[in-house]
Amino acid sequence: MAGKLATLKSLIDWRQPGGLLSAVGHVALLVASVAAFASSKPFAPATEAAPVDVISEQQFNELTRGEKQGVKLPEPRVRADRVAEIQKQNDPGEAKKDVPAEPAKSEPPKAEIEKPEPPKQVAAVPPVRPPELRAVRTPLPTPPEKPEEPEEEDAKAELPKRQPPKPEPKPEPKKEDLTKLLEEQKRAEEQLKAEEKRKADEKLAAEKRKAEAEKKAREEREKRLKEQAEAKKLEDAIRQKLLTSREAPSSSGATAAQTSQQASLGTETATGKRLSPSERSQLVGLLTEQMNRCLNIPPGAMPRSTPIISIQLSRDGAIIGGPTLTNPRNEAGYTPFAEANMRALRGCAPYRIPARFMDSYNDWKNLSIGVIPPNG
Amino acid sequence: MPGTEPHTDLSLIALFLAAHWVVKLVMIGLAGASIWSWAIIINKSIALRGVAKRMDDFEDQFWSGQSLDELYRGLMNKTNDGFAALFVAAMTEWRRAFEGSGSAFASLQTRIDKVLDVSISREIERQESKLLVLATIASVGPYIGLFGTVFGIMTTFRSIAASKNTSLAVVAPGIAEALFATAIALAAAIPANIFYNKFVRDSGKIQGRLESFADEFSAILSRQIDKHNAGDRTRGAA
């Protein structure tokens, strides 16, 4: 209390003016800072650039279009190619399998222990052979035919050919030439002998080579056969495994609780392909050409402005709505001219429409035709 | 500025009024601490300057060859500080020894030293009073401001979570108001710290001067005591 009094006294003591000065200074500072921070300068707004792709209305319709002829189910479903696996993750420490709790004895036992039924769709789908299995079946490598044997035969057949040709029958020797002939015969015999010896050597060497080649070929054949047998064994094992495996056929489609092949539905009235301007003028030209056969303009009905008649056409060219005049006017001769045209349109129906316009039917289903007056 | 932001008024008063009451309390406390510390700073600097000046004046008087008794008579009935306080205390003790019987001379030197020591410590205590407040504000102020800031940001984030809007315009005023608490704390703590250091050094200097003066004065008195004792003995021998 005394300290507080002293502090209060010190506030008005002229020798200790600190408290007063400090308070005044702080108030001044506060006022100054309030004035200085009265308004904060906002940042210049930064504009962000966002990439924009411009698509036409037609493209948008193409995007949003669904299947027009789809059957509408009573309940909409998401398209799913296969049934989703249900993965149950038990808490750590719990048993991996769910063991049904013992039923209370007072209650009837079967209410709780009912097992979840396996999804029906899976059972109904016949097991499809996986593509791997199909692939394995076809390309069994055929064992190569034995190419060596005919060659062997050929070699045998060749052997007699190599033998020296038979000596020609000897001509009758004359007496004076006898010695000469003898000498000649001797030389010839010697030559023949040498030749025979050489040929025999050659034959021996050839036989040796042939035996070696045969041995090599046999070894190779044996090796190949062994390899083939091993490959076949492996294939058999794989096939056996695939046949006995009970895995469901795998596919990577969308998953859901049930399979559903229903595509998303589109509307009949959604626009599909559109007519190009030239195609549209072609179609209108076709229609007016056909219509002109029935046209009978009353005399004097020659307006200046062009009546525009709108009709609804079916796919086969019949008029299913209209024709109606979209721009009625109070002009002399206008209404008779327009009515004559409408009569003609009605009279010449149905119109022949080429097949190339069929896929853009939604665009020309409601058609407006401007009938230009002959002198207009 | 379009009025889409929740707080269009960003002046200091608006910031203060928008703050949480805890933050408000912190801000008010820190503003009070700032006022107090500046009051102490102003008073202390005036007082220290006055003490130094009076000490200089007294020193001039003391060494001017004036009689000590005369000087004592002049100072006796005033409130003294610095050298004058020491001088008066020592002279009072000296004169008390003369007023009583002669036997009081025996340990006069010791008593004078004790009295001088006590006066020095009293002077120092007077000079260093309230410096502790400055030290506390300097050291704890930023923490208090930080507490206010953290609390303000906390409430800001809570209101962001409640409004489910993370745009900066929602976040900014709360954070600005929270940071305001730290700004006040720093504004209070920085001068407090600077002047605390200055005052500690100044009072240390004064303490040194007081001690050296006490030694000198004690030496002078000791010479007088010895002279007096010698006189007594010669008188006793005669």
The complex's ipTM?
0.71
Average pLDDT over all residues of chain B? 84
Q: Is B190 on the interface with A (CB under 8 A)?
A: no
Identify the pLDDT of residue A69: 66
Identify the pLDDT of residue B193: 94
B-interface mutation test, from A4, A20, A22, most B Cβ less than 10 A away: A22
CB contact under 8 A, B13 and A10: no
A 10 A CB-CB count for A16 gives 20
* pLDDT over threshold 90, residue A182: no
Which residues contact residue B65 at a Cβ distance below 8 angstroms, ignoring those fewer than 6 apart? none
* pTM exceeding 0.90: no
- Per the document, the length of chain A is 376
What pLDDT, in 10s, does the model give residues A23-46?
999 999 888 888 887 776 777 777
DSSP B98-162: HHS-GGGGTTHHHHHHHHHHHHHHHHHHHHHTTHHHHHHHHHHHHHHHHHHHHHHHHHHHHHHHH
B79 to chain A nearest CA, in Å? Answer: 15
pLDDT band at A11 (very low <50, low <70, confident <90, very high): low
What pLDDT, in 10s, does the model give residues A35-78?
887 776 777 777 778 888 888 887 887 777 666 666 777 776 66
Q: Is A285 on the interface with B (CB under 8 A)?
A: no
What pLDDT, in 10s, does the model give residues A218-274?
999 999 999 999 999 999 999 998 888 776 666 667 777 777 766 666 665 555 677
CB contact under 8 A, A33 and B12: yes
* pLDDT over threshold 80, residue B27: yes
What pLDDT, in 10s, does the model give residues B158-177?
888 888 777 777 778 788 88
CB contact under 8 A, A19 and B46: no
A 10 A CB-CB count for A371 gives 22
What pLDDT, in 10s, does the model give residues A81-119?
777 777 777 777 766 666 666 666 555 545 444 455 554
Q: Which residue in B72, B110, B74 sits closest to B88, CA to CA? A: B72
Contact A325, A361 (CB under 8 A): no
Between B14 and A151, residue with greater pLDDT: B14
B230 to chain A nearest CA, in Å? Answer: 49
The most distant pair of C-alpha atoms in chain A lies apart, rounded to whole Å, by 183
B8 to chain A nearest CA, in Å? Answer: 9
